[in-house]
């Protein structure tokens, strides 16, 4: 195989004959759900959220008060990955749900904030602690020179006074999902980024996705422990008209070069992340592309903040049908051109819809082109049994109205971006999945992301080559009333 990405994806596939040999999950050894706070200093965000919640029905609220900077940051962080519910678990403890979905409720994504010239917040780097609803200082002072250097001169850094940096934690997911955990971490990060971009758009804030950076530089700047926590994405945010919208991303090292830097004996998911790293600090050309489909005008009653608060993964579908119009509207929202680039691996994701119970749409497998269904199905027939089996025998897959399968030609992806393309493509898949989740909630439908499936069976159902990696599956249907 030409890239480590292809090897990693192949070796982390689920197979009916081997999935039961992955080893048991030790439920008594689950890692902590939140990072430990080592600093006694924290900047409270909870009080800043009160006014946001009080005026949630009034639409976008970008405040111009003296401390608007901190209030707006609190809003964006909360609706990206804040705590939205607290439940009791079987052991008598607390279990928290957050704004974005996560495989197994493990939440391996963390967020750091780089701020300068933000009212109410001293210049510096901060860690967002969702449990405490607080910012924990990492460094104080301006680090824009370092950030510009590590983000390879990306113009979004210079134009912005606010950058959200997403990181992932291996252990929080690997405890349950073993070597496949890295896939889940990337999808979960995409979910959170999807929320952030919706919150930005609603508040008329510009954003720029910055996936290319010198990994070791950000690790050192944020005090990340090697082989435990790793940076994944930067998002520059600013007022409308201030942030350049770029549709390209920097590639990683060529696969033949990247593979030389792997450490033998490291877990495979750590090696995959290592193969994606950018080592050179010299600026490099962006891989250009375009995101999404045609413009889509969301109705005035769509409030993404309220929708994020209501969002939950559907646990059981009723088996009832949805209409072709409902499916088309959902896809149009998920792939809409929002006026600024929202995708990372532009042009390198493919989507197929498996229609099981959509009125006005013949049952079968359909390709998507620019977010819209092709007129004629690729295959016709009732593939309910195949979808159920493909999704590890989960009843949701037999009861849904349709399944959207996200995939990518891994060799072509690596040719464009190096192994780093895998990171971009999986986060894109998570972002699209989250957009589907939000529109389903808005229309009182249900959705659920499926990160565990029999990979090769999905390729067989879609009739695509095994060189195309299946990255994610999103199920949509009518939720069963409780």
Instruction: Please give the full DSSP string across 160-215, using - where no structure is assigned.
Output: -SEEEEEEEEHHHHHHHHGGGHHHHHHHHHHHHHHHHHHHHHHTTEEEEEE---BH
Asked, for residue 268, whether it belongs to a domain, the answer is no
How many domains, the chain? Answer: 2
- Residues 222, 331: one domain? no
Q: Pick from 316, 319, 296: which is nearest to 435 by CA?
A: 296
pLDDT confidence of residue 66: 40
Last residue within a domain, chosen from 231, 246, 261: 246
Give 264-283 pLDDT, tens digit per residue: 999 999 999 999 999 987 76
Of residues 328 and 300, more confidence is placed in 328
The overall average pLDDT reported for the chain is 91
**Per-residue pLDDT tens for 137-183?**
999 999 999 999 999 999 999 999 999 999 999 999 999 999 999 99
What Cα–Cα distance (Å) separates residue 216 from each residue in 226, 258, 274, 285, 311?
9, 14, 10, 20, 35
Residue 107: both structure tokens together: 């939440």
Q: pLDDT at position 65, please?
A: 44
Q: Parallel, antiparallel, or unpaired: how do β-strands 109-115 and 94-98 relate?
A: unpaired
Cα gap 47→329, rounded to integer Å: 37
Q: What are phi and psi for residue 177, nearest 5 degrees?
A: -105, 5
Interior CA angle at 393 toward 454 and 25, to 5°?
A: 75
What confidence tier does 92 reach under pLDDT thresholds 50, 70, 90?
low
Q: Two tokens at 353?
A: 């819809």
Q: Which of 193, 184, 228 is nearest to 211 (CA)?
A: 193
CA dihedral sign, ordered 467, 472, 473, 474: negative
- CATH number of domain containing 426: 3.40.109.10
Within this chain, do residues 238 and 363 fall inside the same structural domain, yes or no?
no
How far is the C-alpha of 285 from the C-alpha of 249, rounded, in Å? 8
CA distance 98 to 103: 12
Mean pLDDT of all residues in 326-341: 86
Out of 179, 213, 246, pick the residue that ends a domain.
Answer: 246
Q: For position 252, what pLDDT does the model report?
A: 93
Question: What mean pLDDT is predicted for residues 11-26?
Answer: 89
In this prediction, residue 443 carries a pLDDT of 96
Whether 64 shows a pLDDT value over 80: the answer reads no
As a whole number of angstroms, the distance between CA 267 and CA 206 comes to 38
How large is the average pLDDT for residues 40-52? 87
Percent of the chain with pLDDT over 70: 94
Residue 465 placed within a domain: yes
Burial 398-435 (b: 16+ CB within 10 A, else e): bbbbbbbbbbbbbbebbbbbbbbbbbbbbbbbbbbbbb
What CA–CA distance (Å, rounded) separates 272 from 266?
Answer: 10
Question: Mean pLDDT over residues 461-467, rounded?
Answer: 96
Residue 252 within a domain: no
Considering the domain architecture, whether residues 230 and 315 belong to the same structural domain is answered as: no
pLDDT score, position 124: 96
Q: At 1, is the pLDDT very low, low, confident or very high (cuts 50, 70, 90)?
A: low
Measure Cα distances from 147 to 111, 115, 144, 159, 422 in Å. Answer: 16, 11, 5, 12, 23
In this structure, the answer to whether residues 73 and 205 fall within a common structural domain is: yes
Higher pLDDT, 247 or 209: 209
Mean pLDDT within 27-56: 84
What DSSP string describes 375-440?
SS-SEES--HHHHHHHTTT-HHHHHSSEEEEEEEEHHHHHHHHTTHHHHHHHHHHHHHHHHHHHHH
The answer to the question of residue 97 being in a domain is yes
| Residue at 133 is within a domain | yes
The domain of 389 spans: 304-477
Task: Note the pLDDT tens digit of each residue in 187-244.
Answer: 999 999 999 999 999 989 999 999 999 999 999 999 999 899 999 999 999 999 999 8
Where does the pLDDT of residue 301 fall: very low under 50, low under 70, confident under 90, or very high at 90 and above? confident
Same-domain status, 216 and 310: no
- Through-space distance between the first and last CA atoms of the chain, rounded to whole angstroms: 49
Assess whether 337 and 453 both reside in one domain.
yes
- Same structural domain, 425 and 346: yes
- The reply to whether 98 and 208 lie within a common domain is yes
Tens digit of each residue's pLDDT (9 = 90 or more) over 282-299: 767 888 777 767 778 888
Closest CA to 372 of 361, 381, 359, 385: 361
The answer to whether residues 223 and 334 belong to one domain is no
Residue pLDDT, tens place only, 391-431:
999 999 999 999 999 999 999 999 999 999 999 999 999 99
- Please indicate, yes or no, if residue 342 is contained in any of the structural domains: yes
Do 317 and 221 have their domain in common? no
- Residues composing the chain: 482
HSE (side-chain half, CA atoms, 13 Å) at 325: 1
Residue 37, in any domain of the structure: yes
Q: What is the pLDDT of residue 89?
A: 63
3-state secondary structure (DSSP) of residue 101: coil
Domain boundary pick from 222, 246, 270: 246
Tokens representing 72 are 């707006």
Burial 454-470 (b: 16+ CB within 10 A, else e): bbbbbbebbebeeebbb
Give residue for tokens 């039961």: 20
- In angstroms, the Cα distances linking 154 to 23, 115, 224, 236, 286 are 43, 16, 22, 10, 10
**Considering the domain boundaries, does residue 446 fall inside one?**
yes
Same domain, 171 and 240: yes
Say if residue 373's pLDDT is above 50: yes
Do 236 and 316 share a domain, yes or no?
A: no
- Do 429 and 349 touch, CB atoms closer than 8 A? yes
């Amino acid at each position: 195989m030409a890239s480590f990405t292809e090897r990693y994806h192949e070796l982390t596939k689920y197979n009916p004959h081997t999935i039961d040999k992955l080893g048991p999950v030790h439920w008594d050894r689950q890692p902590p759900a939140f990072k430990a706070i080592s600093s006694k200093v924290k900047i409270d965000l909870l009080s800043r959220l009160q006014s946001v919640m009080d005026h949630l029905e009034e639409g976008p609220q970008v405040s111009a008060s003296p401390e608007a900077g901190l209030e707006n940051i609190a809003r964006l962080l909360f609706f990206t990955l804040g705590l939205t519910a607290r439940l009791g678990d079987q052991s008598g403890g607390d279990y928290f749900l957050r704004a974005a979905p996560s495989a197994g409720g493990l939440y391996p994504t963390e967020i750091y904030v780089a701020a300068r010239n933000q009212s109410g917040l001293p210049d510096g780097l901060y860690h967002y602690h969702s449990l405490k609803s607080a910012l924990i200082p990492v460094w104080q002072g301006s680090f824009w020179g370092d950030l510009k250097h590590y983000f390879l001169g990306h113009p979004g850094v210079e134009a912005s006074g606010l950058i959200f940096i997403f990181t992932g934690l291996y252990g929080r997911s690997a405890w349950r999902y073993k070597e496949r955990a890295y896939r889940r971490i990337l999808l979960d990060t995409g979910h959170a980024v999807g929320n952030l971009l919706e919150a930005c758009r609603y508040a008329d804030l510009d954003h720029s996705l910055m996936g290319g950076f010198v990994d070791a530089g950000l690790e050192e700047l944020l005090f990340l422990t090697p082989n435990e926590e790793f940076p994944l994405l930067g998002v520059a945010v600013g007022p409308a008209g201030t942030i350049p919208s770029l549709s390209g991303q920097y590639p990683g090292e060529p696969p033949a070069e990247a593979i030389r830097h792997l450490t033998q004996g490291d877990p495979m998911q750590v090696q995959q992340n290592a193969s994606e790293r950018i080592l050179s600090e010299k600026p490099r050309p962006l891989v250009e592309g375009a995101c999404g489909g045609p413009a889509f005008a969301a109705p005035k009653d769509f409030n993404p903040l309220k929708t994020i608060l209501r969002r939950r993964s559907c646990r059981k579908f009723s088996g009832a049908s949805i209409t072709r119009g409902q499916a088309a509207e959902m896809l149009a929202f998920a792939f809409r051109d929002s006026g600024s680039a929202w995708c990372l691996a532009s042009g390198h994701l493919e989507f197929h819809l498996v229609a099981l119970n959509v009125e006005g749409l013949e049952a079968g497998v359909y390709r998507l082109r620019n977010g819209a269904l092709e007129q004629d199905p690729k295959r016709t027939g009732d593939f309910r049994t195949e979808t159920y089996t493909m999704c590890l025998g989960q009843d949701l897959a037999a009861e849904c109205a349709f399944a959207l399968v996200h995939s990518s030609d891994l060799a072509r992806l690596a040719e464009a971006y190096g192994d780093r393309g895998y990171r971009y493509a999986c986060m894109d898949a998570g972002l699209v999945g989250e957009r589907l989740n939000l529109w389903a909630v808005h229309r009182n439908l249900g959705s659920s992301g499926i990160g565990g499936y029999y990979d090769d069976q999905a390729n067989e159902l879609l009739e695509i080559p095994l060189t195309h990696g299946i990255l994610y599956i999103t199920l949509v249907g009518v939720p069963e009333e409780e």
